[in-house]
Structure 1
Amino acid sequence: MLTEDRLFKRIRGDKDHVGSAGYTCNKALRLDHYQNAADRLTSPLRRKENGEFEEISWDTAIAEIAGRLTEVRDKYSGESILFYGGGGQGNHLGGAYSASLLRGLGAWHRSNALAQEKTGEFWVDAQLYNGHTAPDFEHAEVSVFVGKNPWQSHGFPRARVVLKEIERDPARSLVVIDPVRTETADLADFHLQVKPGTDAWCLTALLAGIVQEGLVDQAFLAEHTTGSAAVLEQLAHVKIADYALRCGVDEELIISAARRIGTASSVSILEDLGVQQAPQSTLVSYLDKLLWALTGNFAKQGTVNLHSWLVPVAKHDTRRDLRTPVTGSAMFANLVPCNVIPDEILTDHPKRFRAMIIESANPVHSLADSPRMREALDALDFVVVIDVAMTETAKHADYVLPAASQFEKWEATFFNLEFPRNTFHLRPPVVDPLPGTLSEPEIYARLIRALGLVTAEDLAPLHEAESQQAFAQAMMGALSSKLAPLAPFVLYETLGPKLPNGARSAAVLWLAAHKCAMTYPEAVKRAGHADGEALFEAILNSPSGITLTLDDYADTWRYVGTEDGRIHLAIPSLLDEMRTLDSAQVWTSDEFPFVLSAGERRSFTANTIMRDPTWRRRDTRGALRISPQDAEALGLQDEGTALVTTKRGSVAAAVEINDRMQPGHVALPNGLGLSYQSELTGTAPNELTDSNWRDPIAGTPWHKHVPAKIERLTA
C-alpha cells in the first residue's frame, strides 16, 4: 500500500501473504473511500437535550460513560446491558477487549452479525459433531454451493482463481443451487435453479436420489456415525418427482447431480446467506451437511474437515440452554438473535435490556425492520456507539466515540477457518491514527480504569516479572484469581507496553496463542512453533502472516466433539420438519406476490463499511433487479423507477431489467441507502424487512425471501 498525505495512492495484494498470496477483491482495492471518507469522526460526541451533538473531551466522555454504565448496572444489574458488534468486517482485535469491560460490569449478553446469518448452521454443527467444518475446494472433485455466489462473496481463499480452475478441469464438476443465474452458476456443470425459498425440497430430492440410487457410503456410516437408519428410512420414501416439481428443477437434472455427487472421490460443500436468510434455513443447513455425510466426504483431501482455531468464534455449546431474558428465545453460540433485540427492549418486562454498547456495527441499517430498531434504541436508558463514522445507529446514541480506522491500528481477524493449513495475520498500522481518535482496546481500557475494576496492586506481580517464564507464571496466577474475567485488559496493561512497535493491542494474542498451543499441540508444532510463546512471537514478527496450525486428516476425528467421537446424523426436530415438506408451503400472497431478496451481494456492495458512494463504478443507484418477463408485465423500463412495498413499508427504487432473475423474484443490493454528507444513495433494504419474519429455530431473518408488491412509478 502506497500512502501520501494519509491518502492511499496505490493498493496491491501482498504476494508473500501466507493466506491470500496477493489475491484481492475490488473492495480492498478501493479502501481509500473508507479510510478517508468525509464522515470520519474526530472527537467524542455527547447528545444534548435538543437532540443535537456536541464535542467533548475524551476525559469527560470516559468519565460520564463509566458513570452512566454504573448507574444502569446498579439499578437493573449488568445483565440489562447488551453489547452489539465487536469487530466490523473481520477486524476483531478491538472486540476481543470488550469482554473485559462486559465482565467487569456483570454483563454477558452479546449479539453481532453472526446472529442473523450463521447461528442456525452453528446449532446444526453442534448437534452433528460439535465442531466447525472447512471445505477444500482446491482439491475437491465436486464442489457444491448452496445459496452462495463466491464469485462475488468470496468466502474461501482465492475464490475466483479456484472457481476458474474447477471450470477448466474436465475431471471436476461444479454444482450450484441458487434461484439466480449468478456468476458462479455461469461456471457450473449443474445449476439447480430452484424457485425462491424451495431449497429444502431440492436438497431433500438430491439426498433421496443418493439414497434411492444406492450411492450411500454404508461403510462410512457404520464406522463413524449414529442415527443413520432413521435418516435413510425417511429419504427412501421421498417422491423425488414431486419434490422436483415443487422446487422447479427438472427431475433428471436432480438425479444427474445426485449421481455425480454420489460417485465422486471427493466432495466439498458450502452454504451462505442465500439459504441462511431464507425459509427453513436451519433445516437447509442440516440437509446440505447430510449430502457430505451420507457419501462419506469427511476427513480426507477435497472434502470437509473439522479444523483447529486460534479463537473459536463460531461454536455452539450444547451443554448450555441459554435464553434471552424477555422472550426466552434460544441463544445459539451464546448470541442474542438479532431479530428479537427490539422485543427484548420494547416491553415493560422487568428484565428488559436497558442499555447498549455498539461497536463497529450499524444495527439500525443492517438488522431487520429499521423503523422498529430505531424505536428500540430510543427507548433505552443509555446507548454508546464506538465507530469511525456518524452512522445511522450513532445518530440514536447518547455518546459517540471516534475509533481509529482498521489501517491506523494493529488489527487481525479471528475468522481462521481453513484446513489443513490455518493462517493468521496480525496487521500493523499503515498510517498514524487520525487526531482525536483512539483504538477500541484503548477505549475499553480507559473505561475499565474509570470503573476502578483493577488496582495497581493487582497488576504488580505482572509488572515485576522480568522474564518470559516469570510473566507466564504470574499470568497463570492471575487467571486463577479475580482478574480472570478481565484477562484481556490485564494483558493490555502489563504485557502490552512491552511489545515492539507500539503493538500494545496485540497483547491479548499472548493468551490466545498459549491456549491454541495447549489445545492443538501437534498441529501447532507441525506449523513450526515449539509452544505457545513461540507461536506468539511468530505472530508478532511475521508481517505477511503465519501458518498458525497444520492439521492432519486424522485430526478431524480427534476434533469431533461428541462424547462417543461419532457423527450423530439423526436430529429428531429437523427430521420432523423434513416430513412437513410433503405439504405445500407458500409464503407469498395475492397482495404480495413477489419474492424480494432484500440485500443481494454485488460487485459494488460492501455492507456499510464503504459509506462514500463514489467508490461504486457500476450500479451506482443500487437498482431493483427484475426479470424481463415481470418488467414487461408491469410496464417497467431500465432507468425507470418502481415502488417496492412489503408488510413493513414502501420505498422507491431504480429499475434494472436483468435476465439472471427468474419471474416472480426481485432483488435489492445490500449496503445502500446510507446517509453520506446529508444525501441518500439507493435503497436501504431493511426499511422493508420485518423483525418477526424469521426462522423459528435460530431466529435468523428471512431477508432473502420477503413477500413484496412491485408497482411502476416511472417508465
Structure 2
Amino acid sequence: MTHVTNTADDAVPAARTLPRTCPLCEAVCGLELTLDAADHVTAVRGDQADPFSRGFLCPKGATLGHLDEDPDRLTAPMIRDRATDTWREASWDEAFGVIRERLPQLTAAYGNQSVGLYLGNPNAHTVAGALYVPILIRALATRSLFSASTADQMPKQVSSGLLFGDPLTVAVPDLDRTDYLLMLGANPLESNGSLCTAPDFPGRLKALKKRGGRFVVVDPRRTRTAKLASEHLFIRPGSDAYLLFGIVNTLFAENLTSVRIEVQGLEEVREAAAPFTAAVVAERTGVPVETVLRLARELAAAPTAAVYARIGTCTAEFGTLTQWLVDVVNVLTGNLDSPGGAMFATGATLGIVRTRPFRLGRWTSRVRELPEAMGEFPVATLADEILTEGEGRIRAMVTVAGNPVLSAPSGTRLDTAFAGLDFMVSVDRYLNETTRHADVILPPPRILQSPHYDFALLQFAVRNYARYSRPLVPLGGALAESEILARLALAVSGQEPQDDVDPLTAVDEFIIAGMLHKAGLSDRRAELIGANTTEQRIDLMLRLGAYGEWNPDRITPADGWVGSTGGSGPRARRDDEGKPLADDAGNTAGGDGDRLPGGLNLQVLLDNPHGIDLGALRPSLPGILRTASKTVELAPQALLDDVARLRERLAAAGPEMVLVGRRQLRSNNSWLHNVGPLMGGSNRCTLHIHPEDVARLGLDGHAVVKSAAGTLTVDLEPTDDIMPGVVSLPHGWGHSGSEQTVARTHAGVNANVLTDDSLVDAPSGNAVFNGVPVTLTPA
C-alpha cells in the first residue's frame, strides 16, 4: 500500500478500497475503507482477509468516516484571548511561539513540578502517543504526570507488576482454547474487550459455548454479555475481592489446588484467605454459599479455565486486591501460563526492556501523599495539586487527547481547577469541556492522515498478531501528530527549531542511534526502511522484537507465520482451538495468504497489509518474569497489607443505594458523542434502576441523585436487568454548552459530578467509580 496523492499529474481513481486498522477501541479490528477521489470515506466494511478480526465490524468502526471528517473538529491551531474568552485561529509557528514564551517563564519562576501533564485514553491508540509522548515527558522534566490509567486499569498493572515484576506483563484469557471462563465486572459485548485484545469477542464467546465450554458472568447488571453467558450471578458492587477470596479459601480447604509453576508466597496466600470462608463472603457479596463453593470446584475440575476481571472491578475500592486474586485463582487451579488458561501475549515490536523489578510508591503526591505508580500520580488528586497553595503547586497543564473534566472523579472540582491555571496547552481535535480552559490548542490531523500500529494493545492480545497501516490520505497542509509532539517538546523547553534541522527527524535519529548501539548493530542504520524516520523506528522495533530478523533468539513457528496479501479473498478458517485450517492448496488465510519465512520487519507488514497471524499464545514463564526471585511472587507485602482493610469492611453496613458505571456499544468514553449515527437507541444517558426501587422511593420519570461529591437530576430507565439497591449511569456524558454540535444536542449529565475524588483504591490510587453511595429523591 502506498500513500495517496492528489497532484495534477497523478491518475487518482474515482474510488478505491484500502485496508486500515480501526483505532477506536482495544479490539484492533481490520477495516476496508472505500474513499472517493476527494479522499472522503464513502463505505466501511470489516476486513475479511484480516486473520485476527476476520471481517468483524462494530457500530463504532462503521462510522470511522464520520469521526475522521467531523465538521466540528479543529483544523488549525487555536489561541484564546483570556480577556474576552474568545478564540482565533493561528499559524503553527505562532502557536508554538506562545508556548515557547509562556511555559518556560512559569518553570523558571516555580520549578518544573509546577507543570502537569495529563494523557487521555486515545494516546494508547496512536503511533504518536506511543513513540513521541515519552519525548514530551522528558522535555517537561516533571513528576506531575497523570493519565486515564488511574481512572481505568491501574489496579491490574500494579498487581501484575508486583506478581511478575513488570506492570505490562498482563495475563489474558486464552479465549479460543479455554473450557471455562469466569468473568467479573466486564462487558465485552459493549466494550469489545479491555486489557484483552480480542476482535469479535462475542463470536469467541459463542464459540466457547458451542464447543461445550462454560462461561459465567458476575456483575450487578444483567448486561448483554451476561445474557449470552451460561450463567449470570448478581453481586453487590465493590465486593468482587470477597468472592474471589471465598473461591481461594475453598480451593485450599478442599485440597483443590494444582500449582504447576514455580511461585513464592503460597502459604502466605493460604493464611490471608483463611477468614474468607464461603459463608462469610456470601453475606457480603450476595452470592449464595453453595454458589461460591461450586465456582471453586468448577474452576478446579475444568480441563482448562481462566478468570478475567475488568473495569467494573478495577474502578472499585479494592480494585488491586481483586486483580491480584484473579491471578491467584489462575495459579491455584494450574491455569496460569497454560494453554486454555490465562496466558501472556508476545508482541512483535521491541518495547522497554525492564532490568529491575517493578516498584510501587517511589515518590508520593504533594498534597495527599498518594503513591506514584508507573511514574504517575492518581488523577483523583489532580485537582488537589492545582487548588492547594504551596511550593510545587501545579500552575500550568499540558493535556494530550484527554477530557478529564468529564472522565475524572469530581469533575466539577477539576473544571474549577483548570479555570484557575496560569497557562494551559492541549493537543486535541476538539474544543471540549477540558480544552476550553486552554490558552493554545494544537489539533492533530485527520485519523486517515496518520499511520497506525497498536504497540500497547497487542501486548494484551488473545492471539499473537501484527498489522501496520500507512496513512491513507496525504497530510496536505496539516501537521503530523508526531511532528506536533516533537515541536511541542522543543517549545516547552524554550528551544527554537533550527532552520536546517527538522525536530522530528532529529528526535528519531537520536533514538535509532541509541537502539542500534545498544543492540551492537550501529553499522546497520542504512538497512532500515520506511517512508520517513517514524517508519524507520517501527522497522527497527520489529527487527529487534521477538519475531524480528535481527533478533538471534527470534520466535519462528515451525510452519511459518500466516500472512494475507489479498484484499477480497475469503477469511481464514480455524478449528475449535483457533488454529488456521489449511485448504486443499495448503493456504490458511484469505486472498493470497501464504506462510511467511524468515524474520519480521516493516517490509513484511507492508507486504501483508491485512495483518499477520503469529500463532496461538505460548507458555512464557519464567522467561518474561522480572521479579527479584525470578518466580511468580504470589504474596506481595503491599497487597497482604491491604487485606487488613478488606477484613475491616466485612462488618461494615453497606449503603442503601450505590452507583455503578455502564459501558455502551456505540460510545467510547467522551470522544464519540459527536458522531451523529452513533447517537440514540440504547446510547442514551439515563439512570438504570430496578422497578422495585422506583416504587419504594416514589420516583416517576426523573430523580435527584445525591452523593458526598455532588447532585444531579437524571432521567430514569427502569429495568430488572439491574440489582435492587444499585443504579447505573454511563460515563463520558455532560456536554451541555459544548462547542460540539451533536454532543450538545445529546448532552446528558456528567456522572463524575457524583464520584468523589477523595476515594481511591489504596495500592494503585485508582479512582472509585463503582459502589459510590447515593440517595435518590423525586425530582
TM bracket, shorter-chain basis: 0.7 to 0.9
Q: 1:133 aligns with which of 149, 162, 171?
A: 171
- For 1:312 and 1:495, how far apart are their aligned partners in 2? 20
Deviation at 1:291, TM superposition (A): 0.7
Q: 2:202 aligns with which of 160, 167, 175?
A: 160
Deviation at 1:37, TM superposition (A): 2.5
Would you say the 8 A contact 2:235–2:286 is kept in 1? yes
For the pair 1:653 / 2:729, whether they are aligned, the reply is no
Identity of aligned residues (%): 27
Deviation at 1:270, TM superposition (A): 1.6
Would you say the 8 A contact 1:200–1:287 is kept in 2? yes
Q: Which residue of structure 2 lines up, in the alignment, with residue 709 of structure 1?
A: 775
Q: Partner of 2:374: helix, strand, or coil?
A: helix
For the pair 1:611 / 2:673, whether they are aligned, the reply is yes
Q: Partner of 1:600: helix, strand, or coil?
A: coil
Would you say the 8 A contact 1:143–1:175 is kept in 2? yes
- For 1:548 and 1:506, how far apart are their aligned partners in 2? 21
User: Alignment length, in residue pairs?
Assistant: 680
Q: Partner of 1:260: helix, strand, or coil?
A: helix
Deviation at 1:506, TM superposition (A): 3.1
For the pair 1:601 / 2:663, whether they are aligned, the reply is yes
Q: 1:306 aligns with which of 318, 340, 344?
A: 344
Would you say the 8 A contact 2:360–2:374 is kept in 1? no
- For 1:272 and 1:657, how far apart are their aligned partners in 2? 25
- For 1:436 and 1:86, how far apart are their aligned partners in 2? 26
Q: 2:262 aligns with which of 224, 230, 237?
A: 224
Deviation at 1:146, TM superposition (A): 1.4
Q: 2:451 aligns with which of 410, 424, 429?
A: 410
Q: 2:378 aligns with which of 311, 316, 337?
A: 337
Q: 2:442 aligns with which of 398, 401, 404?
A: 401
Q: Which residue of structure 2 lines up, in the alignment, with residue 499 of structure 1?
A: 530
- For 1:291 and 1:425, how far apart are their aligned partners in 2? 33
In structure 2, runs of 5+ residues without a counterpart are: 1-32, 562-595
Q: Partner of 1:392: helix, strand, or coil?
A: coil
Q: Which residue of structure 2 lines up, in the alignment, with residue 43 of structure 1?
A: 76
Q: Partner of 1:358: helix, strand, or coil?
A: strand
Deviation at 1:269, TM superposition (A): 2.0
For the pair 1:318 / 2:349, whether they are aligned, the reply is no
Q: Which residue of structure 2 lines up, in the alignment, with residue 512 of structure 1?
A: 541
Q: 2:705 aligns with which of 633, 644, 650?
A: 644
Q: Which residue of structure 2 lines up, in the alignment, with residue 80 of structure 1?
A: 114
For the pair 1:422 / 2:464, whether they are aligned, the reply is yes
- For 1:272 and 1:301, how far apart are their aligned partners in 2? 21
- For 1:333 and 1:582, how far apart are their aligned partners in 2? 28
Would you say the 8 A contact 1:208–1:238 is kept in 2? yes
Deviation at 1:622, TM superposition (A): 1.5
Q: Provide TM-score, normalisation by structure 2.
A: 0.80
For the pair 1:246 / 2:309, whether they are aligned, the reply is no
Deviation at 1:474, TM superposition (A): 7.9
For residue 55 of structure 2, what is the amino acid of its counterpart?
G
Q: Which residue of structure 2 lines up, in the alignment, with residue 364 of structure 1?
A: 405
For residue 769 of structure 2, what is the amino acid of its counterpart?
H
Q: 1:567 aligns with which of 626, 629, 632?
A: 632
For residues 546-695 of structure 1, the aligned pairs below 5 Å read 546-547=612-613, 552-553=618-619, 555-585=620-650, 593-597=656-660, 599-612=661-674, 614=676, 615-637=678-700, 640-674=701-735, 675=738, 676-677=740-741, 678-679=744-745, 681-695=747-761
- For 2:106 and 2:377, how far apart are their aligned partners in 1? 20
Deviation at 1:97, TM superposition (A): 1.1
For residues 429-578 of structure 1, the aligned pairs below 5 Å read 429-433=471-475, 437-448=478-489, 451-452=494-495, 475-476=513-514, 499-500=530-531, 505-517=534-546, 522-526=553-557, 534-547=600-613, 552-553=618-619, 555-578=620-643
Deviation at 1:46, TM superposition (A): 0.9
- For 2:396 and 2:319, how far apart are their aligned partners in 1? 31
Q: Partner of 1:334: helix, strand, or coil?
A: coil
For residue 660 of structure 1, what is the amino acid of its counterpart?
D
For residue 3 of structure 1, what is the amino acid of its counterpart?
L
- For 1:459 and 1:10, how far apart are their aligned partners in 2? 37
Counterparts in 2 of 1:371 and 1:236: CA distance versus 1, 3 Å = closer
Would you say the 8 A contact 1:44–1:400 is kept in 2? yes
Would you say the 8 A contact 2:113–2:393 is kept in 1? no
For residue 634 of structure 2, what is the amino acid of its counterpart?
L
Counterparts in 2 of 1:530 and 1:353: CA distance versus 1, 3 Å = farther
For residue 53 of structure 1, what is the amino acid of its counterpart?
W
- For 1:437 and 1:550, how far apart are their aligned partners in 2? 40
Deviation at 1:259, TM superposition (A): 0.7
Q: Give the number of the structure whose residues are more often helix, by fraction.
A: 1
Q: Partner of 1:111: helix, strand, or coil?
A: strand
Deviation at 1:250, TM superposition (A): 1.2
Q: Partner of 2:320: helix, strand, or coil?
A: helix
For the pair 1:276 / 2:337, whether they are aligned, the reply is no
For residues 290-301 of structure 1, the aligned pairs below 5 Å read 290-301=328-339
- For 1:427 and 1:281, how far apart are their aligned partners in 2? 35
Q: Partner of 2:256: helix, strand, or coil?
A: coil
Q: Provide TM-score, normalisation by structure 1.
A: 0.87
Q: Which residue of structure 2 lines up, in the alignment, with residue 121 of structure 1?
A: 156
Q: Deviations over 1:513-569 (max 9, x none)?
A: 35425897544444768888x52333444322335687642x332112223321111
Would you say the 8 A contact 2:216–2:229 is kept in 1? yes
Would you say the 8 A contact 1:307–1:551 is kept in 2? yes
For the pair 1:258 / 2:296, whether they are aligned, the reply is yes
Counterparts in 2 of 1:698 and 1:8: CA distance versus 1, 3 Å = same
Counterparts in 2 of 1:710 and 1:610: CA distance versus 1, 3 Å = same
In structure 1, runs of 5+ residues without a counterpart are: 466-470, 485-490
User: Once structures 1 and 2 are overlaid, which stretch shifts more, 347-356 or 277-286?
Assistant: 347-356
- For 2:116 and 2:40, how far apart are their aligned partners in 1? 36
- For 2:363 and 2:118, how far apart are their aligned partners in 1? 17
User: Once structures 1 and 2 are overlaid, which stretch shifts more, 343-352 or 387-396?
Assistant: 343-352
